Amino acid sequence: MTGFRGLTTERRDLPPLTSEHTAALAEIHSDPDVARYIGGDRLTAEVIPLQVAAFADEWDERGYGQSAVIERQTGAFVGRIGLHFWPDWNEIELGYILAGSAQGKGLAAEGARAWIDWAKSEAHIDHLIANIHPENQASIGLAKRLGFVFDRDDTTPSGLPTLIFRLPVAT
């Protein structure tokens, strides 16, 4: 793991996502309303540890990755947010997943803004993308509020339809 210690927002701590978060992330993914736009039934108990391991490897390889979203007052894990490199597109996504109980409270926007600020000040990144399922109106709305603009219709490497939004971050 890199020397990155994490980000903080007004209400949350965003430390690097590690294997210690696997069970909590699996619990979040077990909610069909949460998982429907990010792979649904493909997010099995066998797949999630591999996904978390890949996110951990990204920290080592790239110096950024997904963060756990931790409620500062309770210490509860409520999701993940951060950057992810998509080799098929040669682009870096700002992505997030929050537990159903944490949605609709501005937490995704808060965490996304922290990562956008980090990308602008700390990373040599030209732009970020948001990879969003076409039916996920809440995420589309958030991407637009954050300044992302529609770039293209696409398909994820796993075959899911997606809309790609783009945000320039190079200064």
Decide if pLDDT at 111 tops 90. Answer: yes
In a domain, 145, yes or no: yes
Residue 19 maps to a domain = yes
Query: From CA 43, how far away is CA 28, in angstroms rounded?
Result: 10
* Residue 46 structural domain: 7-168
pTM of the model: 0.89
pLDDT on residue 1: 46
**Is 98 among the domain residues?**
yes
Torsion of CA 100, 27, 162, 56, to 10 degrees: 120
* 61 contacts 4 by C-beta, under 8 angstroms: no
In a domain, 68, yes or no: yes
- Domain CATH for 35: 3.40.630.30
In a domain, 2, yes or no: no
CA distance 56 to 18: 6
Q: Using one digit for the tens of pLDDT, what is the confidence trace for 81-107?
A: 999 999 999 999 999 989 889 999 999
How many domains are contained in the chain?
1
State yes or no: pLDDT of 39 exceeds 70.
no
Tell me: pLDDT of 51 over 70: yes
Query: Is residue 59 in some structural domain?
Result: yes
- pLDDT tens digits for range 112-152: 999 999 999 886 789 999 999 999 999 999 999 999 999 99
67, 55 contact by CB (below 8 A) = no
